[in-house]
Structure 1
Amino acid sequence: MAFTEVKKSKVVSERTILALIPQRFREKTSEALEKTELEEIRLRVNRPPEFIYQWGHQFMKSDPFTKSEASFVMNQLSQHSVYAFEEELRNGFLTLSGGHRVGLGGETVVEKGQVKTLKHVCSFNIRIARQMNGVAERFLPELFQEQWRNVLIVGPPQSGKTTLLRDIARTASYGHPTKKIPPRKVAIADERSEIAAAFEGIPQHDLGPRTDVLDRCPKAEGMMMLVRAMSPDILIVDEIGHERDKASLKEAMNAGVAVICSAHGRSMEDMQERQLLRTALGRPLFDRILLLNENKHGTLIVQRSVQK
């Protein structure tokens, strides 16, 4: 992409975010958006806006965000996704053009034990989407050895799991001639729109030319739909955890598809307790485990060395 196109895309992306921000906060927010370390913009009723950077956080020196300003933000958000607004409220987040996500906090409306929607929304987490290419580079010699290995990426929130999955998908789709990695068909089951950051079905991140995305579909069902319909070489999925997710992973692997996925956790012990590492017969489910920490550093573990 040419420099002028990148610059134009950045300007449009910033305008999308600034359109949500009440007027009196826009100048400071615009200044914060110029910093590549910015990760989140937090708006909470009765609190000043907060900027979350890679190096820490900073509250804006201003009067608190008000309830009427929360209503303004909600009105702006509804214009970005009118047709799916109620469904997105039920999920607790909305995805904007450019891949930015807005998490919502408020009062849930529950019917028959299920969350139907949110009301009295009073807190917003605007997560800035910045694609980071090349973060998977140092792990490629272990993740790809003549073929892509089955890999589980484990880490706490904001340790870089999704960013790494996204870069692996892009690399696998384009291929990597220098490392003798051929391009492959990639399928992504993106239940929470975090990997592709799809807006109206179109991925907002560059995931490569041979990547197909199933957006907002429950993971277990989505994985099977992709295996059966899209014949992928590699299946990528974020935040596995349930037994039904594990069953779908196993079925995909048995069909000859390489699976690369992530899960919340801080240690191998966490994964052992959740029984995500092995099959019912005690065999390793994954070839590689990649443990990430809060500083986004990774440690690779070969699964065959893990004890039952």
Structure 2
Amino acid sequence: MVFPELIDGGGEEMPYTQKENTIVSKQTIVALVPGRFKENIRVALRSYDLEEIRFRVNRPPELVYRNDAYFMGAETLSTNDAEFIMNQLSQHSLYAFEEELRNGFLTLAGGHRVGLGGETIVENGMVKTLKHVRSFNVRITRQMNGVAGRYLTDLFHGQWRNTLIVGPPQSGKTTLLRDIARTASYGQQAKQMTPIPPRKVAIADERSEIAAAFEGVPQHDLGPRTDVLDRCPKAEGMMMLVRAMSPDLLIVDEIGSERDKSALREAMNAGVSVICSAHGRTVEDMEDRALLRTSSGRPLFDRLLLLDGNKRGKLIIPKKVSV
């Protein structure tokens, strides 16, 4: 294997100490919580480090922080508590949430996302919905502006470079994509770097994680020139956005299939810049999944950004290899 070339400038921790903007009141989360747990949840939500609140029947609620996790006392969640949470999520109209249940999560106003675990109902080999939901993962959404700043000089040069962001879960891939979208949409006129003119941005957001859309409206500030296609399969969504919205920059999360790769190539061939992410830890992971190159060995992306579990990034220039 011919290894890619490293670019100087990676490796420092992403600036997560900058101002964090929670999109709406955390009351949307507190409203889900059974009464005896509410006050402790209110206190926990004051921390910027809180990432998840997990409720499981017959277990105490668990608070998951950026670098730690612990159970909230000894009192456990009952089946009645789980039904209370479901009623709050559905506003007592479960039939209206069949599609969300089939996908295994619900999105709250404000973009906070609730993952669900329970018993699946399967028809013709496909999950139709969930019943007897007994575990909940409330993922706290926050917008962290500025985290892409240290990479912009390498990701933008006259136009946005085709870039693949790679990292393990919780490494900051989606947060970085969100900030790139916002920066591209607004543009940037920082004195210390080449100005970035505003561009039309399109986001294929299959899992509602980048825009955190609620009823089609993004709950994060993605800039004034950004269009979002929410909960659409990535490959179809990318093609729909290229045809209908004529973007300058297309952003998509968690690519992986051959159909995704084909759609990326189609978008690039149409003159659209693409910035996307994939799960992985190393260059070899991407080589094994054939995400870095075309069949001729030519690099599919201009830049590869590897993030580690501490949200540190290294920029790499993929090279052509013999096939």
Identify the TM-score tier after normalising by the shorter chain.
over 0.9
1:197 is matched with 212
The one-letter code of the counterpart of 2:164 is: L
**Matched residue SS, 1:13:** coil
- 1:304: how far off? 2.1
May I ask how many residue pairs the two structures share in their alignment? 301
Residue 75 of structure 1 pairs with residue 87 of structure 2: yes
Asked if structure 2 preserves the Cα contact closer than 8 Å seen for 1:13 and 1:97, the reply is no
Residue 32 of structure 1 pairs with residue 47 of structure 2: no
1:3 is matched with none
Q: 1:41 aligns with which of 43, 46, 53?
A: 53
Asked if structure 2 preserves the Cα contact closer than 8 Å seen for 1:175 and 1:181, the reply is yes
Q: Unpaired segments of 5 or more residues in structure 1? A: 1-5
CA distance in 1, matches of 2:23, 2:305: 35
Q: 1:223 aligns with which of 217, 238, 247?
A: 238
Flag the structure with more relative contact order, 1 or 2, with Cα contacts below 8 A and sequence separation at least 6. 2
Change (3 A) 1:95 1:80: farther
1:292 is matched with 307
2:172 is matched with 160
2:201 is matched with 186
Change (3 A) 1:307 1:265: farther
Scaled by the length of structure 2, the TM-score of the pair is: 0.90
Asked if structure 1 preserves the Cα contact closer than 8 Å seen for 2:185 and 2:222, the reply is yes
The one-letter code of the counterpart of 1:212 is: D
Asked if structure 1 preserves the Cα contact closer than 8 Å seen for 2:204 and 2:238, the reply is yes
- 1:307: how far off? 7.4
Residue 98 of structure 1 pairs with residue 86 of structure 2: no
- 1:281: how far off? 1.5
Q: Unpaired segments of 5 or more residues in structure 2? A: 1-18
Asked if structure 1 preserves the Cα contact closer than 8 Å seen for 2:298 and 2:320, the reply is no
Select the structure that is richer in helix: 1
1:275 is matched with 290
Aligned-residue CA RMSD in angstroms?
Answer: 1.8
CA distance in 1, matches of 2:88, 2:240: 34
The one-letter code of the counterpart of 1:47 is: R
Asked if structure 1 preserves the Cα contact closer than 8 Å seen for 2:175 and 2:210, the reply is yes
1:128 is matched with 140
Scaled by the length of structure 1, the TM-score of the pair is: 0.94
Percent identity, aligned pairs only, is 73
The one-letter code of the counterpart of 1:227 is: V
Q: 1:242 aligns with which of 257, 281, 294?
A: 257
Residue 139 of structure 1 pairs with residue 154 of structure 2: no
Asked if structure 2 preserves the Cα contact closer than 8 Å seen for 1:155 and 1:293, the reply is yes
Residue 151 of structure 1 pairs with residue 166 of structure 2: no
CA distance in 2, matches of 1:12, 1:35: 15
CA distance in 2, matches of 1:82, 1:170: 34
